[in-house]
Amino acid sequence: MSIIVQKFGGTSVENSKKILAAARKAIRAHKNGNQVVMVVSAMGQNTDILIDLAKQITDEPPAREMDMLLSTGEQVSVALMAMAIDTLGYKAVSMTGAQIGIKTDNTHGKARIQKIDAKRLHEALDAGYIVIAAGFQGVDDENNITTLGRGGSDTTAVALAAVLNADACEIYTDVDGVYTTDPRMVPDARRVKRISYDEMLELASAGAGIMHNRAIEFARNYDVPVHVRASYSDEPGTLIIAEPETLDRPVCGCACVKNEARITVRGIPDKPGAANMLFKAISDQKIAVDMVVQSKGNDGMADISFTVPREECAAALRAVNKIKDQLGFDCCTHDDEVSMVSIVGKGMVDQPGVAQKMFQTLGDKGINILMISTSEIKISVLCPQDKAIEALRAIHDAFELDKEPTLLDIPEKQADKQEVDKVSMINRLHGMEDLFIDKIELDDIQGRITIENIPDRAGLSCQLFKQLADAGVNIDMIVQSQGKDDMAKISFTMPQVQFNLAMTVCKNLPGDLAQTSIANSCSQVAKLTVFGTGLKSHTNVAVRVLQCLAEAGMNVGMINTSEATFNVTVPAEFGEKALKLIKEEFAAEIC
Ligand code: ASP
Ligand code: MG
């Protein structure tokens, strides 16, 4: 019999009427011959109300007691939901995290699921019950109640779908699916029929707040099809699966984080271990960095710029200034009126000119780009905050995201799903939320050029990449940061065979770009890429890579990060050795 997991968020169960409506959806799925597990969140704003209550008692509630308190929100809604189903004439049983068998580690407030023993769940389902599971909670080894972090019911739902080998995981919410961008900012935004896990992960970390990121990581790691749909209608919604909606288009969506802050650390001695020291100081404060770019100067010094959510700016500055003497940098500046705008799409991997089109669009609107960071399937730029929405709209237009694409055909999944035996399932799910590394790759046939003294004005990065594109240079990694005297500095890599061509273009730049200079170039660098999931939520991945390179005395050139990839360049002769070291470092996590 097929199993369906249905998750209802806070707004979908905020009153008795909505609880009854949700109950009917579950009953309908049950009547259609499915075994049904419902996962519910706390009603409406209940979690916030509980947090507020705690704050009235103390500013620093013990983390264990906070979890004890917050878990009650979900306990209320599961009980009411079971009553609703019962009164509609069907068998239902509610269960807490502990009763479902969700074991987590003991990091209260953001516990990670370690395993789920689904025995009791199966028994109840086999006996014909609709099971109503409390979202967002579990227990640690000593049976203390833990919670998974705000929005964690999504993660519970996808995790249960994974252990149960469910046929579908439906996320019912107050929007009717995933959009090409936030429709409140761009009215033309289109609901997508389908989006791939990788794209959804990148979009979510670029500011699209649809689902808990950890839930999507889970779905990707265990290949759980997730269906996001509206609780108030029967519209088809959006399917999150491995395959993208289309590959004809380079971009599937765009997003914006409005309140970002940029911190630039200038004049860092360009020697092994420097980047590592800096990011360790920040990650020790548990601050998640959004964009990171490092670029090199010609004076043996490196600059590193990175962005953090605005509310973390002060803490990040404190952490950086604390290591000023130890690291020996010149100065550290910041700007907290900036926004990050990103485009995401699997199709950009083999379509040239995508970055340039984005820069061009912004340049045409007179929007200045303050920082650039590219990765496999995402390009992010930083722009002045008052231009963010205009930038988002212009980009949405330029890539014609409002138009329906031709759907990519996907092969039908095998109808007779294999029965997974219990033992292998439990083994598979041991340490369910551990870091997953897919692969680590070395590309040592790249060249790098760094250009300095680019006037910090709208349209200039676009002109630069247009010159390069016109000459036929395929740009791979791009990082732009702020150099001295508010001049921008851009580093990029290209296939080694095109290095000389790119140098010629850069030496003969026309117009406003004529005053730029080539600060640094290298015809052969090695790029190392770590691919995986959870690279950002497991905040120490960057630090671990940088640390093992630093310990081996290797100097890191460019750095950039995204949700699913972490890239660094090192001198070409170190490529193989760096690959070996990074593989050893992550040996336990490579799948
Ligand atoms: N009730 C929790 C929260 O508001 C969990 C959830 O809604 O997913 O964060
Ligand atoms: Mg909630």
Query: Is the CB–ligand 1 distance for residue 135 below 6 Å?
Result: yes
Among 41, 145, 216, 218, which residue has the most ligand 1 atoms within 8 Å of its CB, making it the best to mutate?
A: 41
pLDDT at 562 over 80: no
- Model confidence at 305, in pLDDT bands (50, 70, 90)? confident
DSSP annotation of 41 reads -
Among 38, 43, 136, 171, which residue has the most ligand 1 atoms within 8 Å of its CB, making it the best to mutate?
A: 136
pLDDT at 72 over 90: yes
Cβ contacts of residue 303 below 8 Å, gap of 6+? 264, 265, 266, 267, 268, 294, 295, 297, 481, 482, 483, 489
Q: Note the ligand closest to the C-alpha atom of 39.
A: 1
Residue 154 is encoded by which pair of tokens? 């999504």
73 vs 451 pLDDT, higher one: 73
Residue 456 is encoded by which pair of tokens? 């910090």
Torsion (CA) 580, 584, 588, 591 in degrees, nearest 10: 0
Query: Is the CB–ligand 1 distance for residue 47 below 6 Å?
Result: yes
Q: Look up the pTM and report it.
A: 0.84
What's the 159 CA to ligand 1 centre distance in angstroms?
15
Q: Note the ligand closest to the C-alpha atom of 148.
A: 1
Kindly report the protein residue whose alpha carbon is nearest to atom 8 of ligand 1: 151
Strand order in the sheet with 130-134: 92-95, 130-134, 35-40, 3-8, 168-173, 226-230, 238-241, 194-196
- Range with the lowest mean pLDDT among 49-58, 60-69, 267-276? 267-276
pLDDT at 3 over 50: yes
Given the CA of residue 9, which atom of ligand 1 is nearest to it? Answer: 7
Q: Please calculate the CA angle 51-56-62 and round it to the nearest 5 degrees.
A: 60
Radius of gyration of the chain (CA): 25
Q: Do residues 374 and 353 touch, judged by C-beta distance below 8 A?
A: no
Q: Using alpha carbons, select from 21, 238, 60, 33 the residue that is nearest to residue 125.
A: 33
pLDDT at 6: 98
Query: Is the CB–ligand 1 distance for residue 10 below 6 Å?
Result: yes
Q: Checking DSSP bridges between strand 130-134 and strand 113-116, what pairing results, if any?
A: unpaired
Q: How far apart are CA 201 and CA 219, in angstroms?
A: 10
Mean pLDDT computed over 411-416: 52
Mean pLDDT computed over 323-347: 92
- Range with the lowest mean pLDDT among 28-32, 311-315, 492-496, 551-555? 551-555
Among 52, 71, 150, 174, which residue has the most ligand 1 atoms within 8 Å of its CB, making it the best to mutate?
A: 150
Alpha-helical regions (H) of 210-353: 213-222, 274-284, 313-322, 324-327
Q: Checking DSSP bridges between strand 3-8 and strand 35-40, what pairing results, if any?
A: parallel
Please state, in angstroms and as integers, the Cα–Cα distance from residue 497 to each residue in 207, 446, 501, 509, following that order. Answer: 37, 8, 8, 20
- Model confidence at 428, in pLDDT bands (50, 70, 90)? low
Tell me the CB-side half-sphere exposure of residue 324, using CA atoms within 13 A.
Answer: 12
Q: What is the pLDDT of residues 119-173, one digit of tens each?
A: 999 999 999 999 999 999 999 999 999 999 989 999 999 999 999 999 999 999 8
Q: Do residues 258 and 388 touch, judged by C-beta distance below 8 A?
A: yes
Residues found in the chain? 591
Query: Is the CB–ligand 1 distance for residue 534 below 6 Å?
Result: no
What's the 14 CA to ligand 1 centre distance in angstroms?
12
Q: Is the four-CA dihedral 61, 64, 69, 73 of positive or negative sign?
A: positive
Q: Note the ligand closest to the C-alpha atom of 156.
A: 1
Identify the residue whose tokens are 């990011």.
279
pLDDT at 484: 65
DSSP annotation of 144 reads -
Residue 75 CA, distance from chain mean position: 30
What is residue 180's three-state secondary structure? coil
What's the 138 CA to ligand 2 centre distance in angstroms?
16
Q: Which domains does the chain have, with CATH numbers?
A: 3-174 (3.40.1160.10), 254-402+437-585 (3.30.2130.10)
Mean pLDDT computed over 453-480: 84
pLDDT at 323: 93
Q: Could you give the maximum distance between any two Cα atoms of the chain, in Å? A: 79
What's the 218 CA to ligand 2 centre distance in angstroms?
19
Q: How far apart are CA 129 and CA 28, in angstroms?
A: 13
What is residue 287's three-state secondary structure? coil
Task: Give percent helix, percent strand, percent coil of the chain, each to the nearest 5.
Answer: 35, 30, 35
- Model confidence at 423, in pLDDT bands (50, 70, 90)? very low
Please state, in angstroms and as integers, the Cα–Cα distance from residue 544 to each residue in 228, 310, 532, following that order. Answer: 35, 25, 14
Q: How far apart are CA 207 and CA 392, in angstroms?
A: 12
- Beta-bridge partners for 295: 303
- Model confidence at 69, in pLDDT bands (50, 70, 90)? very high
pLDDT at 296: 64
What is residue 582's three-state secondary structure? helix
**Measured distance between the N- and C-terminal CA atoms of the chain, rounded to whole angstroms:** 30
Q: How far apart are CA 237 and CA 231, in angstroms?
A: 10
- Mean pLDDT in the chain? 88
